Chains A and B, each alone.
Chain A
Amino acid sequence: MFKTLHKYASPMHFHALARRWSTPLLWLSAVLFAAGLAGGLVMAPADYQQGESFRIIYVHVPSAWLSMFAYMVMAGAGAVSLIWRVKLMDALARAAAPLGASFTALALATGSLWGKPMWGTWWVWDARLTSELLLLFLYLGYMALQSAIDDRRAAARAGAVLAVVGVVNIPIIHYSVEWWSTLHQPATITRLGAPAMATSMLIPLLLMALAFQLLFFALLFIRARSELLEFEQRSLWVRELLGQGSPR
């Protein structure tokens, strides 16, 4: 098993793996999106309190989950890279940052579009909203560091330190609705006991979450390929790959 792990931690093998998997992941994600949208927009009944506006949950919650998941990928890869200096991990962290930033922005924007009709305001300095905004700034800080430092290794290490320190924000986001219980509603799915949601509403949410997740991996793989090529531009495998014509 460690041999396999070691093999795929090599940039060349991971690049090949990412090339093989990105397209099937995209297709699978598209199918799940179609099913999730049909379920969420058409089949699920309107909420008895929030009416049709609750349908925003099907894009808001998956993007909010991904905003945190992408951060864990970025910080996790950063931590491994700080300890063992694995180039692949630097590439993954760099690939995850713009994706995480965009999903965080999407979670904030869709939350705002949901908050306006339900809470009567686009924005409040509620603990959940504030910690999610901080998450966006952590991503942007990481990306700024990457473009400010020319030496890729140094940039990756500085970014990894920032990402690892910023990890304290993740449990704060998750528990903010319980610790401060201000305006944002508490978790619907990830709570102890049964989810507080009817099955016909829950299934589309899970489909959409899976669709988002698979799309994230497809995007992560495509972005990681670019990073690996740049990191490894002097190595033989990249030269051979580029020599073949147009590797995709």
Chain B
Amino acid sequence: MTNELREFFAMGGYGLFVWSSYGLTALLLVGNLVLAVRRERRVIRELSRRLPVGAGHDPA
């Protein structure tokens, strides 16, 4: 690793705090997206199953 890169990750000695903040942010933003998409899929699946016969989508 070059010196510049090492310096960048060290963040002037605050690396632990800076990178935890950014890591936590990334985790939370991506997590929010995954949860929202998964919830929509689950709702669609459950509502489709409960649809009355004839209105549900053709499994074939």
Q: Contact between B17 and A59 (Cβ–Cβ < 8 Å)?
A: no
A246–B37 CA distance with the chains assembled, in angstroms = 13
Q: Contact between A52 and B18 (Cβ–Cβ < 8 Å)?
A: yes
What band does the interface of chain B fall in when counting residues whose beta carbon is under 8 Å from A?
Answer: 20 to 34
Cβ 8 A contact of A46, one of B12, B31, B50: B12
Q: Contact between A116 and B17 (Cβ–Cβ < 8 Å)?
A: yes
Mostly, the B contact residues are helix
Return chain A residues, CB-CB under 8 Å to B52: 239
Chain A residue nearest in CB terms to B27: A106
Residue A102, interface by CB 8 Å: yes
A229–B17 CA distance with the chains assembled, in angstroms = 42
Chain B residue nearest in CB terms to A223: B36
Given A219-B32, A223-B36, are A230 and B21 also a contact pair (CB < 8 Å)? Answer: no
Given A110-B24, A223-B36, A226-B43, are A56 and B12 also a contact pair (CB < 8 Å)? Answer: no
Q: Contact between A59 and B14 (Cβ–Cβ < 8 Å)?
A: no
Return chain B residues, CB-CB under 8 Å to A229: 40, 43-44, 47
A55–B18 CA distance with the chains assembled, in angstroms = 7
What band does the interface of chain A fall in when counting residues whose beta carbon is under 8 Å from B?
Answer: 35 or more
A42–B7 CA distance with the chains assembled, in angstroms = 11
Mark interface residues in A219-248 (1 if CB within 8 Å of B CB, else 0). Answer: 100110110011001000011001111111
Return chain A residues, CB-CB under 8 Å to B44: 229, 242, 246-247
Return chain A residues, CB-CB under 8 Å to B31: 102
Q: Contact between B18 and A230 (Cβ–Cβ < 8 Å)?
A: no
Given A51-B13, A229-B43, A243-B55, are A110 and B25 also a contact pair (CB < 8 Å)? Answer: yes
Cβ 8 A contact of B20, one of A113, A239, A243, A248: A113
Q: Contact between A109 and B24 (Cβ–Cβ < 8 Å)?
A: yes
A94–B51 CA distance with the chains assembled, in angstroms = 24
A222–B8 CA distance with the chains assembled, in angstroms = 36
Of residues A41, A51, A53, which shows the largest number of chain B Cβ atoms within 10 Å of its Cβ? Answer: A53
Residue B57, interface by CB 8 Å: yes
Residue A71, interface by CB 8 Å: no
Residue A63, interface by CB 8 Å: yes
Chain B residue nearest in CB terms to A236: B55
Beyond A56-B18, A219-B36, A242-B47, 7 additional contacts (C-beta under 8 Å) are A53-B14, A59-B25, A218-B33, A223-B39, A242-B48, A242-B56, A243-B55
30 pairs, CB–CB < 8 Å, chain A vs chain B: A41-B8, A41-B22, A51-B12, A51-B13, A52-B18, A53-B11, A53-B18, A55-B18, A56-B18, A59-B22, A63-B25, A102-B28, A102-B31, A110-B21, A113-B17, A215-B33, A219-B32, A222-B36, A223-B39, A226-B43, A229-B40, A233-B50, A238-B47, A239-B55, A242-B48, A242-B55, A242-B56, A243-B57, A245-B57, A248-B40
Q: Identify the 5 closest CB pairs spanning chains A and B, nearest first.
A: A52-B12, A53-B14, A52-B11, A222-B36, A59-B25
